[in-house]
A and B are shown apart, each in its own frame.
Chain A
Amino acid sequence: MALTRTPSDAPDTVIRRKSSWSSSAVPAQAALIFVLLLLWELASYYLYNPFWGSRPSMIAERLWELAVSGHLWMHTSTTLQEAGAGLLLAALLGVPAGIGLARAPRLARLLDPVIMGLYGLPRVALAPLFILWFGIGLFSKIMMSFTMVLFIFILNVMEGIRTIDQDQLDLMKSMRAGRLYVVWTVLLPAIVPWILASFRIGVGLALIGAVVGELIGSNRGLGWYVESSGGQLDTTGVFSGLVVLMILAMVANYLIGFIERKIIKWR
Chain B
Amino acid sequence: MALMTSQREAKTGPVVAPAYASPPRAELKGLRISFPLPDMSMLEVISGISMSVAEGEFVAVVGPSGSGKSTILRALCGLLKPSGGEVTVDGKPVSGPPPGVGFMFQKDALLPWRTVAGNIRIGAELGSVPADQHEARIASLIKLLRLEGFENAWPRQLSGGMRQRVSLGRLLAYQPSLMLMDEPFGALDYQTKIAMGRELLSVWEAERRSIIFVTHDIEEAVTLADRVVVFSARPARIIADYKVDIPRPRHLRAMRSDPVFTQLTEAIWSDLAMPS
Which positions in A face B, CB cutoff 8 Å?
Answer: 165, 167-168, 170-177, 181, 185-186, 189-190, 192, 264-267
Contacts and interface: CB of A to CB of B under 8 A. Distances in A.
A175 B214 CA distance: 19
Nearest to B106: A167
Given A175-B102, A185-B122, A167 B109 contact: yes
Contact of B174 (A175, A189, A267): A175
Contacts of B155: 266
Contact of A177 (B105, B126, B180): B126
A175 B97 contact: yes
28 contacts: A165-B107, A167-B107, A167-B109, A168-B109, A170-B109, A171-B105, A171-B109, A172-B126, A173-B79, A174-B77, A174-B78, A174-B79, A174-B180, A175-B97, A175-B122, A175-B123, A175-B174, A176-B126, A177-B126, A181-B125, A181-B126, A185-B111, A185-B114, A265-B154, A266-B112, A266-B113, A267-B154, A267-B156
Q: Report whether over half of chain A's contact residues are helix, strand or loop; otherwise say mixed.
A: helix
B127 interface: yes
B107 A173 contact: no
B93 to A, nearest CB: 16
A142 B101 CA distance: 53
Contact of B101 (A174, A192, A266): A174
A171 B127 CA distance: 13
Interface of B: 77-79, 96-97, 99, 101-103, 105, 107, 109, 111-114, 122-123, 125-127, 154-156, 174, 180
A176 B123 CA distance: 11
A163 to B, nearest CB: 12
B126 A170 contact: no
Given A170-B79, A172-B126, A173-B79, 20 more contacts: A167-B107, A168-B111, A170-B103, A171-B103, A171-B109, A173-B97, A174-B78, A174-B79, A174-B101, A175-B97, A175-B126, A175-B127, A176-B99, A176-B126, A185-B111, A185-B122, A186-B111, A189-B111, A267-B112, A267-B156
B99 A174 contact: no
Contacts of B103: 170-171, 174-175
A266 B99 CA distance: 31
A267 B174 CA distance: 26
A16 to B, nearest CB: 16
A143 B78 CA distance: 49
Nearest to B109: A167
Contacts of A190: 113
Contacts of B78: 174
Contacts of B154: 265-267
A174 B96 CA distance: 9
A192 B156 CA distance: 17
Nearest to B123: A175
